[in-house]
Amino acid sequence: MLSYRHAFHAGNHADVLKHTIIVQLLRYFGQKETPYMVVDTHAGAGVYALDGNFASKNAEYESGIGRLWHRKDMPPALEEFVQMVRDMNPSGKMRYYPGSPYCAEKIMREQDRLRLFELHSSESKILHENFKKLDAHAAEQGVRSNVRGKRVIVERGDGFLGLKALLPPPSRRALVVIDPPYEDKRDYQRVKETMQDALIRFPTGTYAIWYPVLQRIEARQFQDRMKRLETKSWLNVTLTVSTPSPDGFGLRSSGMFIVNPSWTLEPMLREMMPYLVKMLGTDHGAGFTLETSESDSLKKKSDRAEKADS
């Protein structure tokens, strides 16, 4: 099933959450001189035209990045990401929105590496073209080519399979972004299997997994399955912008599950999430959840203690 095109959803509430987290994780990686690698298993097109046929159809960006465009009171992490989007729209009008590959490329240093996988033929072609444009822009500024060198490699292929050959990276530092469309319910199982294999190959890597919060049983079980992975630490955050509809259609809630998160991520999210709920929420059903392996462990101990006392 390769009908999914992310351009229909570019810039929505789920994208804002996902990309802000990715930017902050990479900022943390950049605090050390040692090179790091970013692997994006489902890279999409890299950049999306908000006035194009796909994005303008449902205009989901209007209830996502659009609500933050002119805000002056944002938490620092959110402000940094929104400013990144503004910078790629120098006219002041929202015309383009960055995908994860663009966010990574803008933050990465010369010594860092970006590996992008996209299986959809049309999306893969656009991804190549977008990075060639970045290449040309770099050449105009006298900067060495990014795409045709070693720094950025774009590959049409299955990112679940492609990831195996890249782990562990030579520098033993990497952020892996896993963001399948989940239009095929087997994606939930493939994410779990991919993570089990990745943590054997590279247990100290940081993994950022996006997922939709839906009514289907696979989605409801997904978070619990991620929490049972053999890893030292994890962080799970969800953003809900409205009450689910009776028919279950529409994406009103999504989450990011981070394996081996930076220590700075949790306090950043505790500051940012109430603001996102306030700005992007549409009814009383809006809210967020934020839990970590440490808090989950404490909760389980408390539950066991209560049962012992009863």
Q: List, by residue number, the catalytic residues.
A: 179
Task: Tell me how far apart the terminal alpha carbons of the chain are, to the nearest angstrom.
Answer: 51
Which token pair is 272? 């940012």
Cβ neighbours, 10 Å, residue 243: 13
In this structure, the strands spanning 152-156 and 113-118 are: parallel
232 alpha-carbon distance from chain centroid: 21
- How many whole angstroms separate alpha carbon 206 and alpha carbon 199? 10
Residues in Cβ contact with 122 at an 8 Å cutoff, skipping those fewer than 6 apart = 5
C-alpha torsion angle, residues 241, 242, 243, 249 (rounded to 10): -90
DSSP codes, 220-276: HHHHHHHHTSS-S-EEEEEEE-SPPPTT--S--EEEEEEES--TTHHHHHHHHHHHH
Which token pair is 53? 């046929």
**Angle, helix 13-29 to helix 76-87, in steps of 10 degrees:** 100
What's the sign of the alpha-carbon dihedral 71, 77, 78, 84? positive
